[in-house]
Amino acid sequence: MLNAEKTQYALKVMGEMFPKAHGELIYHSPFQLLIAVILSAQATDVSVNKATPALFAAFPTAEKLAAAPLDEIMTKIKTIGLYRTKSKNIKACATIIATEYDGMVPNDRKILESLPGVGRKTANVVLAEAYGVPAIAVDTHVERVSKRLRICKLDATVSEVEKTLMRKLPKEEWIKDHHRMIFFGRYHCLARNPKCDICPLLDICQDGKLRMKKRT
């Protein structure tokens, strides 16, 4: 297991590799960000970004999405996985925001997590990106990188991964580190073919060392 010092070193290296790491979902308001993140569950940011321009052009606000016919919403996002369920969730979510919060996305974790289709990861993304609240959203990339580098235990739950990262990383770096880990996992430490042979973190990566040993 990497201690806090080595974990912070690993994130520093990731930052050097990806100095412009950032959220890749396209949106123009906290509400649109919330909808985009809901749609990104079990889907790629690329697929979401292909669908949301038409969705947001037609229904840019909570009020308009709440009033939209469900079949029209489905038509706009049918290229995204689980689009039927997601259509129902984003319409229901928009309805609550429009009627109970004057169309404004709440800056409150508990309220966000109570919305249809919103879990802790989605709430963390919205809080961090829209409101600058320090948070670490654990997606598949963050979880994979954390476990491969042994920042956390291999059998750690998503919640345990988040708590471990929060404990080992400075709070003021959480948002940046979250993006760094996503870029590192998305473009370098890939799920199927990680670039261990050119990885600057190989010396502290137990998983990488084992992979390289098997190749020889």
Catalytic residue list: 121, 139
Q: Helix, strand or coil for residue 39?
A: helix
CA angle 137, 150, 144 (to 5 degrees): 45
Q: Is 93 annotated as a binding residue?
A: no
122: its two tokens: 């989605």
Buried b (16+ CB within 10 A) or exposed e, 98-128: beeeebebbeeeebbeebbbbebbbbbbbbb
**Residue 140 exposure: Cα atoms within 13 Å on the Cβ side:** 11
For 207, what's the count of Cα atoms within 13 Å in the CB-facing half-sphere? 23
Is 196 annotated in some ligand binding site? Answer: yes
Tokens of 178: 């979250």
Residue 189 counted as an annotated binding residue: yes
Beta-carbon contacts of residue 115 (< 8 Å; ≥ 6 apart): 34, 93, 96, 97
* Dihedral angle over CA of 46, 79, 137, 198, nearest 10: -40
**Bind-site residues:** 189, 196, 199, 205
**Bind-site residues for [4Fe-4S] cluster:** 189, 196, 199, 205
